[in-house]
């Protein structure tokens, strides 16, 4: 995981070793969960996540739309 500023400059990074074998979607989802926890602990706000697995992006976007619509 890499954190950069709004100019694209490196700020910090982290990694985590996970036991087991993951399918691409599972690995990307676990990585996103870890990244969310990490940036929350760092106290960052207004974060943009970049993912490689479109299937995970699609699930996150649908859930985000569901939450936004339920707030209306």
List, for residues 43-71, the tens digit of each pLDDT value: 998 899 999 999 999 998 887 777 667 66
6 versus 70: which is more confidently predicted? 6
Residue 25 in contact with residue 58, Cβ under 8 Å? no
Number of structural domains the chain divides into: 1
Interatomic CA distance for residues 29 and 62, integer angstroms: 14
Range of the domain at 21: 2-69
For residues 11 and 3, is the Cβ–Cβ distance under 8 A?
A: yes
| Residue range 20-45, pLDDT digits in tens | 888 999 999 999 999 999 999 999 98
pTM (two decimals):
0.76
pLDDT at 66: 72
C-beta separation of 27 from 51 below 8 A: no
């Amino acid at each position: 995981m890499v954190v950069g500023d709004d100019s694209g400059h490196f700020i910090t990074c982290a990694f985590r070793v996970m036991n087991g074998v993951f399918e691409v979607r599972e690995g990307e989802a676990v990585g996103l969960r870890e990244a969310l926890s990490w940036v929350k602990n760092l106290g960052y706000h207004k974060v943009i996540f970049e993912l490689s697995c479109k299937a995970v992006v699609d699930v996150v976007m649908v859930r985000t739309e569901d939450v936004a619509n339920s707030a209306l």
